[in-house]
Structure 1
């Protein structure tokens, strides 16, 4: 299926496009609640108080771009009823605890600009709630009630995120509590 936005048709994803995620995460407090345990390395990241949402999100996407060959990205927007899903009439796919997402094949620029109304992590943010490249080499996911974002991918990607002060990432083991120091669960 395809949906029009900005005078262009965009491919809408199906359950098959997220089948590698659905049913492959584990309930709990570890990073594998959001990211399947299939990657070489994992990290959590969140916007620091002294950094704007735009700067934080741009830093995160820039690091991802440096570790990703040119290809489409899948962007998924969680339908909470309170946040912009970008394509409100598109069909939904269901992940985690049967949460509905709009899944669209686009790219990094769309990830940074399409959402206008903010999201759960900060009121001025644009990033999708879940996104990954077509080759599935990494996954970024923020669960409904978390104020941080989880990342799984190659060692080099996680190393680069840790080195970028604006990305504000910290490495976590798959069995470790994903809650970043200084944050609390809602």
Structure 2
């Protein structure tokens, strides 16, 4: 997937109700359980209710999880078995242990960059660390997806990644003296 510095602000707009309904129905038809809520606070409360307290929960790095308060609730409340906390307790040189914990949690909580109206989810990553648990490593995945991420089709989803998500991520990392890129999708 090629990338450029084009930024398409149109991808910040929320999908209309009919698009949201089509995407939700398609996801359900594809075997996913779908909950639709109106606010980030409602999403946080729902996810906190859905997560087990006695199983390892990995929170993927996600602005959606950060902004909604879900990441902080899982990582800082002490209510959950946090994979990130477990990784922090391992020796610095235990790379295999860190990889194993992150790759095979009981539950992964994260987001995706786009959901198509026909029920396909698109995620891209520089490191790919969340993609393994998303696709097969975790026994259960919980995705929190804002209405602005609903798009008509796969081509539009990929364009959203290249012209909206990646430029936003680049801005964040460049402010810290780094860069971002699509290494895996």
Normalising by structure 2, we get a TM-score of 0.26
Normalising by structure 1, we get a TM-score of 0.26
Which has a greater percent of helix?
A: 2
- Kindly name which structure, 1 or 2, has the bigger radius of gyration based on alpha carbons: 2
Which has a greater percent of strand?
A: 1
